[in-house]
Amino acid sequence: MHIKTILTQTYHDQNPGTSGLRKKVSVFKQQHYLENFVQSIFDVLPNFQGKSLVIGGDGRYFNREAIQIIIKIAAANGFGELIIGQNGILSTPAASHIIRKYGAFGGLILSASHNPAGEHEDFGIKYNVNNGGPAPEKDTLAFFERSKVLENYKIAELPELNLDEIGTQEIDSLKITIIDSVNDYEELMQSLFDFDLIKQSIQNGFITLSFDAMSAVTGNYAKRILVEMLGAPESAVQNGTPLEDFGGHHPDPNLIHAHELADLMFSENAPTFGAASDGDGDRNMIMGKGIFVTPSDSLAILAANATLIPAYATGLKGVARSMPTSQAVDRVAANYKIPCYETPTGWKFFGNLLDADKITLCGEESFGTGSQHVREKDGLWAVLFWLNLIARRRQSVEEIVHEHWRKFGRDIYSRHDYEAVDSKVTNAIMVSLRKQITTLAGQVFGDFIVKYANEFCYHDSIDGSTSANQGFRIGFENGSRIVFRLSGTGTVGATLRIYIERFEPDVSKHHQDPQIALSELIELAEQFCKIKQLTGLAEPTVIT
Ligand code: VG1
Ligand code: CO
């Protein structure tokens, strides 16, 4: 194998965000851009000579070209084996599982997740460590620092590799293995859930379902698991063929972007269960006939019912949620007397807690739920969990949710996003919030008395690290909260996220429209940040 060292120009914008480096395809296609970032990662990582690296992506535009480049750089840097998903495809949770199952050194996942795909849209790359989870902050910071001074990279002269045929080939001391993208993941799911019970409920018509793969990575996984293994009709999987531009969809499973599914679920002909996943298969949206389950509620409900599922029958060690996620799961944890941890936004913060066996389930308000089984959030896992639960309890989604609210109270919740705003405006908002936050405690706003106000700083109890500036939170005496933070996954301008929640113990008030039930807090949030006033926007871009 002939290895060349290429002199390169340095880029100064390769700072990974909440979940990897995400940029427009045109940015990634600049000369040496991807090569530089991959070399920066390899320069930082210690002792991987002869070890294996997992590679796969969500199939979006530039996925195949990027994989060919990565193969050559990984080969030149001395990896012993490359394990690659067939056609270059691996969902994010499948990649996490494969890293763990085969004891790989780590993995490179090519995805910009819920961001749109195509020549003029986004591409992304993320490094996962040997526990299968996203690299911790200290690593991603080190990748960025290295990229700012990188002068050259190493690349092997190899022919283009055929990614479509399963099998192993050897080039000198390098082994390259193309694996089926679904097999290992499918086996794992079968080991966690009662597939026979779910299958029976589908076959006898108790469960009818519609799953929207949004023309993204979960198509192959859903067809294999839901249709071939669990016996759902082929028509149960919508948009099941992965496309390079995700069919022009915005592959973000929420009521706005998965509106076809939402329309179906609120119609007369709705099946009993509806779900969608995102670009790389780690998010999930859960719906029942006439009902949408907020992700925060979904996490709480899964936690409350976990012992009904084979994999979690012995109970939960603890749970965790990201800071802006509603406190619904906290109530479940308190009830079951198990610990509940609060982490910053992004899955990388759950890894240490999962590895240390402090938690069994975790989740985020942004349609992400997961467990010990991998170190990423997992869309289809959440779908199977719900199917198993429905089959076991023989209740509809609506009955399960309403019963949960009756028992624990309802945390009425909404997130308002102001997307692609001028970053000068959002920076000014952050500066202003930082000033206000110190003076708010004790102040009274109508019915709301501020109990605490601060900027979230996380202390990792396992590795002792600290992550500062993780969003502003204002908590009220009655348990309500308003949280502000800037997105770390966008590629255009800046996105302000406002998270609003209010606890409602009164059963007779559980069936309110969240936007109405939260209206006072929504106004209060505007009073604090003035985003509408500063941008002239009348409404958020997306409400979930
Ligand atoms: C968003 C979500 C966060 C999630 C992240 C990655 O980040 O809020 O909860 O972990 O996306 O999800 P941000 O910084 O834009 O708020 V995925 O499915 O895009 O990998
Ligand atoms: Co995703």
In ligand 1, the atom with minimum distance to the C-alpha of 364 is 9
251 CA to centre of ligand 2 in angstroms: 9
Identify whether residues 348 and 415 lie together within a single domain: no
8 Å CB contact between 344 and 338: no
Q: By alpha-carbon position, which residue is closest to atom 17 of ligand 1?
A: 113
In ligand 1, the atom with minimum distance to the C-alpha of 92 is 20
Laid out side by side, the sheet with 542-543 consists of 444-445, 448-455, 472-476, 481-486, 494-504, 410-421, 542-543
CA 48 to chain centre: 27
Q: Is the pLDDT of residue 18 over 90?
A: no
Catalytic annotation, pick one of 52, 113, 201, 487 = 113
Q: Where does a domain end: 363, 387, 408?
A: 408
CATH at residue 85: 3.40.120.10
Asked if 113 is an active-site residue, the reply is yes
User: In angstroms, rounded to a whole number, what is the distance separating the alpha carbons of residues 413 and 499?
Assistant: 8
Identify whether residues 242 and 388 lie together within a single domain: yes
| Least trusted range by pLDDT, from 17-26, 150-159, 451-460, 485-494 | 485-494
Give the pTM: 0.94
User: In angstroms, rounded to a whole number, what is the distance separating the alpha carbons of residues 514 and 219?
Assistant: 32
User: In angstroms, rounded to a whole number, what is the distance separating the alpha carbons of residues 252 and 249?
Assistant: 8
Identify whether residues 193 and 330 lie together within a single domain: yes
243 CA to centre of ligand 2 in angstroms: 16
pLDDT of residue 160: 93
Q: What is the overall mean pLDDT for the chain?
A: 96
Identify whether residues 164 and 202 lie together within a single domain: no
Residue 279: nearest ligand to its CA?
A: 2
Residue 122: nearest ligand to its CA?
A: 1
Identify whether residues 307 and 380 lie together within a single domain: yes
pLDDT over 70 percentage in the chain: 100
Among 294, 367, 345, which residue's Cα sits nearest to residue 473? 345
Q: Where does a domain end: 145, 179, 213?
A: 179
Query: What would the mean pLDDT of 401-420 be, rounded to a whole number?
Result: 96
8 Å CB contact between 358 and 317: yes
CATH at residue 444: 3.30.310.50
Residues facing residue 371 across a β-bridge: 361
pLDDT of residue 54: 98
Query: Would you place residue 492 in the very low, low, confident or very high pLDDT band (cuts 50, 70, 90)?
Result: confident
Q: How many CA atoms lie within 13 A of 536 on its CB side?
A: 1
Q: Is the pLDDT of residue 432 over 90?
A: yes
Query: What would the mean pLDDT of 88-101 be, rounded to a whole number?
Result: 98
Token digits for 69? 């480049």
pLDDT of residue 31: 96
Query: What would the mean pLDDT of 42-49 be, rounded to a whole number?
Result: 96
Identify whether residues 264 and 245 lie together within a single domain: yes
Identify whether residues 312 and 325 lie together within a single domain: yes
Identify whether residues 346 and 227 lie together within a single domain: yes
Identify whether residues 275 and 205 lie together within a single domain: yes
Identify whether residues 211 and 169 lie together within a single domain: no
Domain count, the chain: 3
User: In angstroms, rounded to a whole number, what is the distance separating the alpha carbons of residues 371 and 383?
Assistant: 13
Q: Is the pLDDT of residue 537 over 90?
A: no
pLDDT of residue 502: 96
Interval 461-487: pLDDT, tens: 999 999 999 999 999 999 999 999 999
Q: Where does a domain end: 129, 146, 179?
A: 179
Give the Cα-Cα-Cα angle 111, 116, 118 (nearest 5 degrees). Answer: 85
Query: What would the mean pLDDT of 503-517 be, rounded to a whole number?
Result: 93
Range of the domain at 139: 3-179
Identify whether residues 243 and 342 lie together within a single domain: yes
- 489 Cβ closer than 6 Å to some ligand 1 atom: yes
Query: What would the mean pLDDT of 491-516 be, rounded to a whole number?
Result: 93
Identify whether residues 273 and 240 lie together within a single domain: yes
pLDDT of residue 490: 78
User: In angstroms, rounded to a whole number, what is the distance separating the alpha carbons of residues 437 and 454?
Assistant: 6
